[in-house]
Structure 1
Amino acid sequence: MVFGDSLSAGYGLPQEAGWVSLLKKRLQTQSQIHLINNSISGETAMGGRNRIEQALKTHRPDIVILELGGNDGLRGASIDSIRDNLEAIIEACQRNNATVLLAGMQLPPNYGIAYTQKFQDIYTQLTKRHRLKLVPFLLDGFGDKREFFQADGIHPNGHAQQKIMENVWKVLRTMLKSQPTIADGRP
């Protein structure tokens, strides 16, 4: 299950063009894995915290790709609240036997060096504390290139979606190899 914000919901793109749909196609060619996209444009870590239990109960995922926090950072939320909300989501996933793949984000430099570094550190701290797998930066390889973004300068365009999917796939495939019952599609 992908649990994220507009970057995973495919904001501004046809549904089939988003990175989650591309990942779903890749998984279908290699296994019997069923991928659910439970992402909402505009979602925050607090909003995710409020809806994670129901999502886990409804979908019972083996793996959760957690892609939240970016909207909180862009709104200048406190580092502690972002970390606490993400940690609550992670702990809920773990209580429900779901392995978490955390997708890290970075903020533009105009938020100040101290805040942007503390924000980025949230992801590495949570990864270490909870022994998670991490995509260090979801937009790695193009996050600073204007041609990969929609007119708003925030949301990746269609050309970026394959790159995002590959960034996630690099880490996810190692997780699937270490969990053969998931990779083989067995319950």
Structure 2
Amino acid sequence: MSFLSRVILRYGALVMVVNALMGEALAAPVRILALGDSLTAGFGLPAESAFPARLEAALRAEGRDVRLINAGVSGDTTQGGLARLTWALAEKPDLAILELGANDGLRGLDPKLTRANLDAILKRFERERIGVLFTGMLAPPNYGPAYEAEFKAVFSSLAREHGLLFYPFFLDGVTGNPRLTLPDGLHPSAQGVDEIVRRILPSVRQLLDRHAAQGGAR
């Protein structure tokens, strides 16, 4: 075999390898990080009934190739979520759903601190070029209307400042419904998780469509 023939064969083999690797990359599922607290983690539920698992199942049923990463930790505040963000990002997500703040509200933490923590998380996502669906939270009424209003405004103002897709209340349609919550009245039951998924699904579709429109690039 001549030198030229050997070069051509080697070049052809290299092209095949590159094409195979590119094909694998193109076929890889979109990785969505669900960063949150017990509402994401699936407190009191089997793993397959947690929000990330049920959302992944709903999206796959529509033919969307996705993988949800459950980065929910029960009891986590926004400060806790910020502290473990680098660890969570080791999963190399393409997109993220940010659900934090419920425990800040339950503990009556200063909304300014909640805002600073969430802002730092969002800025890190921006630096990593990770598209975000930002979900809001409401404070319990026992701290008074002034605290409720200030706490609620944290989420909507951050969404505007960062130009984010925004889902105003993660527990919309579930809070206050005993059929959709566990006996503690705070956490969603399996049926409650399905209701959250049903309501938030249009926003997640929009997040995925934006990602696809941008070529899936980070």
Distance 2:97 2:43 in 1: 18
Partner of 1:5: 37
Task: Report the TM-score, using the length of structure 1 for normalisation.
Answer: 0.92
Distance 2:139 2:106 in 1: 7
Partner of 2:156: 124
Q: How does 1:108-147 map to 2 (within 5 A)?
A: 108-147=140-179
Q: How does 1:9-48 map to 2 (within 5 A)?
A: 9-29=41-61, 30-48=63-81
Q: Partner amino acid for 1:38?
A: A
Q: Partner amino acid for 1:47?
A: G
Partner of 2:114: 82
Asked if residue 104 in structure 1 is aligned to residue 136 in structure 2, the reply is yes
Partner of 1:73: 105
Given that residues 37 and 76 in structure 2 are in contact (C-alpha distance below 8 angstroms), is that contact kept between their aligned partners in structure 1? yes
Distance 2:130 2:203 in 1: 16
Question: In the TM superposition, what is the alpha-carbon distance from 1:63 to its structure 2 partner?
Answer: 1.0
Partner of 1:170: 202
Which range is displaced more, 63-72 or 170-179? 170-179
Given that residues 53 and 92 in structure 1 are in contact (C-alpha distance below 8 angstroms), is that contact kept between their aligned partners in structure 2? no
Given that residues 79 and 117 in structure 2 are in contact (C-alpha distance below 8 angstroms), is that contact kept between their aligned partners in structure 1? yes
For residue 50 of structure 1, the aligned residue among 83, 102, 106 is 83
Distance 2:157 2:216 in 1: 32
Distance 1:166 1:186 in 2: 27
Q: Partner amino acid for 1:55?
A: A
Task: Report the TM-score, using the length of structure 2 for normalisation.
Answer: 0.80
- Give secondary structure in 2 for the equivalent of 1:3: strand
* Percentage identity across paired residues of the two chains: 38
For residue 181 of structure 2, the aligned residue among 142, 149, 155 is 149
Distance change (3 Å), C-alpha of 1:19 and 1:54: closer
Distance 2:66 2:173 in 1: 27
Q: How many residues align?
A: 185
Could you say which structure has the greater relative contact order, defined with CA pairs below 8 angstroms and 6 or more residues apart? 1
User: For 1:110-134, what per-residue CA distance to the aligned partner results, in whole angstroms no more than 9, with x for missing partners?
Assistant: 1210111111111100000000111
Q: Which runs of 4+ in 1 moved over 6 A?
A: 184-187
What is the root-mean-square deviation in Å for CA atoms of aligned residues? 1.8
